[in-house]
Structure 1
């Protein structure tokens, strides 16, 4: 039977030898990965289910999903080292399987795959050629000069030739320098500036985030972006900051660019790692109301792959489990998230929440968010605050409490119940509810409520620490307005003075 090898872009795969070749560098893989890649190469651009992979690669053995997921992850990691395909060529087709997303060239035995050549033979080969040339020149008899010829005239052509050659060499050298400088400048233009970054101070779990939104109204797109960021913060425990003061120590940089092209909205995600000065992800995702959950999960999956983090798809599915199932209610919920991060549009969130609740009135997430946000707004409007409005919100919330307390489907439920307990002057119950929230899921509201509890128990130092965490999580001192007024007045003037003093010192340093 004729043996076959395969070309995948600039990769050469020799399955019967369990090896991959890239730029004359050999990578040996185990039989498991070799069989998997062979099956994919025999079926390029074809979606293969997990069952098909098990039947052909593992011969029908009983396996857990993790075994296949791990093998795909290892193979992706190897294949994407050629920097041609950032996702490692193997893409995930949701609910269907995996696909080798590239063309494959079959190489038969009469056209063998390249073998590894060491540097030493190449050097010896050059030296041999040089020696042959010298020997040939020595065998050519020197030109006899006629005594009647002017010796100076006979020498001039040689000098002219040497001069011309020298000019050609200098010209080639200058051209080469120009080309190198041109491409280096192009590369520099592509790569984010890292001049102010101190290499040894970079934090691998710290992400510098930025949003470039060219649309007048893109609350939905912003909500999707913050949902992706929320997953990285809560489920993978990364620290994400939009504050420029933190960017000098962030090892990772995530940029989100919102655009509209031919009537279609897109979110482009770019991931750049400052440690290696390499961009691992640059992909554009179309946004449509019908496929919001799919888009968000695809974004998260791609970012995790770029971070070299392998998480089962079933776990990623949980990120939207608490969100409404109705597409329109989901879109409105994401718009709420987008508006909550825009201080000038925060009051629009009330109307959006009300519309979403009309479409999905039993959503634990929406019921909790609606109560919490309306309470925060009611306390924030100090001049309009009345006991009657607070009592009305509590009365409405009491009606849905039986639905929420029976197996809460969102951590937002515990926040809402803690806020309700504090409004009823039941601090012990509030503590019990907040303790149900994992520390990785503490939000701005969680920190504010913990700060209020600390004040209630007479612990101002802990209160200031929690307020600071809320401030740091939000990235804006405006959050102190809500923290100051919620439930009861808290004097945060000292915190404001510290922030103002720090800001003035920064301005002085720049001047």
Structure 2
């Protein structure tokens, strides 16, 4: 049955093709956003709570409030379509929920076939006569019959034309249109510049900074950041800003100088919002990290809240050199394969020997080791060491406010088959930190609960936050193997088109 078409404000919403359109412009939205918009349209002017939205749009499956918030934020962006003067289609009613504030008009469907509208024949045939009727009477009868059939064919043609027009209106053509820039979106790219001494360590340091910036802004600001340091596809982007990290070799007299270049560009007018260069040494990585985060705060007019300052304090080992080694281990963790995890565990042991008070490194060591155990079961002695690591992390000051503790617990609970406890922990992780890793693990939990549709949503969110081979490997192999083609075919089709 044809799904109904509805006007929401100026937008015509066509659920059958997941599209909204107005004045010749068409936007294709994710099916979940279309379902959300249609549900609002069925309840115009009513305040809808998050629980009502979850029960009806997410088909009574339990999801986090953060997923609802993110979906409404994306829907608002699409409805505004870059027009700052556009009305607020969906407003937040504090402590109650959300409300659609624009007029709603539903379009009726054709419910009868053209043939069903024909009137029944009336009158009776004349009785037979002894003599044939006059020629003029016969001619008049034929003429009347011709007129009647002509009118019938004309009416039938009109009905067919009206049905065709209604079908065309209900199915506007899908056209490729360029999206306007979203000024609140930022892409982070790692540029392959000329090689410098100790390039591997510098590359890991840049990847680590990109990950830190992405998580910090996504969690504590109104910006949506996509970490594309592992994504080398050249394709159009709708992000309004681009941050690039590049190591540049530059001759200075007879000495060769190598510096890290950080540039933030506003793609709307190609203006440079931030342009800094750092000479990286073994003693200044910490100071560079602090200065860069403060500079971004100023450039984006985004003051850092106290909780971010507390989180950043966990990323500050006593020795600056430990930070680079930690980021090398962190990059290996992002790779996700067994060999990389083994190397990451060894590097984190080195970090903890040099900086035993670096609690975040201890937590990352526990995450690395629990992932190793999920792929290749550890021996009893190693498992006892791992359990001791988890206990130390749980008891460390401030760690209960860090997402990584709940990521560790979620993987640990999944390995023990305790899906409900894993679900509780990973939701707490997402509430504390919006990161690709948390959404990958959320997808794993949903798969264990038999909710593949919600798992697909989580995996696409993870890939959107950090697109690239590493995230794909995590989706396919972390904790247990996942068939991307079966669970999240959209992502499989997206990658096959590259």
Shorter-chain TM-score: what band? 0.5 to 0.7
Q: Tell me if 1:223 matches 2:208.
A: yes
Could you tell me whether the CA contact under 8 Å between 1:208 and 1:247 is conserved in 2?
Answer: no
Per the TM alignment, residue 475 of structure 1 is displaced from its structure 2 partner at its CA by 0.9
Per the TM alignment, residue 209 of structure 1 is displaced from its structure 2 partner at its CA by 2.0
Aligned to 2:465: 473
Could you tell me whether the CA contact under 8 Å between 2:185 and 2:241 is conserved in 1?
Answer: yes
SS in 2 for 1:458: coil
SS in 1 for 2:482: coil
Distance 1:367 1:497 in 2: 37
**1:123-162 alignment runs, 5 A limit:** none
Per the TM alignment, residue 273 of structure 1 is displaced from its structure 2 partner at its CA by 0.7
Gaps of 5+ in 1: 1-195, 507-511
Higher normalized helix content (fraction of residues): 1
**1:86-485 alignment runs, 5 A limit:** 201-213=180-192, 214-215=194-195, 216-217=199-200, 218=202, 219-241=204-226, 242=228, 244=233, 247-261=236-250, 262=255, 265-311=258-304, 317-327=309-319, 328-340=321-333, 346-347=340-341, 348-377=343-372, 379-380=374-375, 385=376, 387-389=377-379, 393-406=382-395, 407-409=397-399, 410-439=402-431, 441-485=433-477
SS in 1 for 2:344: helix
In structure 2, the CA distance between the partners of 1:444 and 1:375, relative to structure 1 (3 Å rule), is: farther
Could you tell me whether the CA contact under 8 Å between 2:437 and 2:462 is conserved in 1?
Answer: yes
In structure 2, the CA distance between the partners of 1:290 and 1:487, relative to structure 1 (3 Å rule), is: same
- TM-superposition CA deviations, 1:39-61 (whole Å, max 9, x none): xxxxxxxxxxxxxxxxxxxxxxx
SS in 2 for 1:201: coil
- TM-superposition CA deviations, 1:432-452 (whole Å, max 9, x none): 322332436133332222222
Per the TM alignment, residue 238 of structure 1 is displaced from its structure 2 partner at its CA by 2.5
Could you tell me whether the CA contact under 8 Å between 2:241 and 2:266 is conserved in 1?
Answer: yes
In structure 2, the CA distance between the partners of 1:394 and 1:411, relative to structure 1 (3 Å rule), is: farther
In structure 2, the CA distance between the partners of 1:340 and 1:431, relative to structure 1 (3 Å rule), is: closer
Per the TM alignment, residue 249 of structure 1 is displaced from its structure 2 partner at its CA by 0.6
**1:38-57 alignment runs, 5 A limit:** none
Per the TM alignment, residue 321 of structure 1 is displaced from its structure 2 partner at its CA by 1.2
Per the TM alignment, residue 356 of structure 1 is displaced from its structure 2 partner at its CA by 0.9
In structure 2, the CA distance between the partners of 1:455 and 1:315, relative to structure 1 (3 Å rule), is: closer
- Structure with higher Rg: it is 1
What TM-score, normalized by structure 1, do the two folds share? 0.52
In structure 2, the CA distance between the partners of 1:400 and 1:362, relative to structure 1 (3 Å rule), is: farther
Deviates more, 1:448-457 or 1:216-225: 216-225
Distance 1:197 1:440 in 2: 37
- TM-superposition CA deviations, 1:183-208 (whole Å, max 9, x none): xxxxxxxxxxxxx995x711111112
Distance 2:378 2:187 in 1: 44
SS in 1 for 2:428: coil
- TM-superposition CA deviations, 1:291-316 (whole Å, max 9, x none): 3222112112222222233447x666
In structure 2, the CA distance between the partners of 1:239 and 1:427, relative to structure 1 (3 Å rule), is: same
Could you tell me whether the CA contact under 8 Å between 2:430 and 2:439 is conserved in 1?
Answer: no
Distance 2:310 2:417 in 1: 34
Distance 1:461 1:500 in 2: 14
In structure 2, the CA distance between the partners of 1:251 and 1:489, relative to structure 1 (3 Å rule), is: closer
**1:60-99 alignment runs, 5 A limit:** none
Distance 1:430 1:306 in 2: 39
How many equivalent pairs are there?
303
- TM-superposition CA deviations, 1:115-152 (whole Å, max 9, x none): xxxxxxxxxxxxxxxxxxxxxxxxxxxxxxxxxxxxxx
Distance 1:503 1:401 in 2: 36
SS in 2 for 1:248: coil
Cα RMSD for the two superposed structures: 3.3
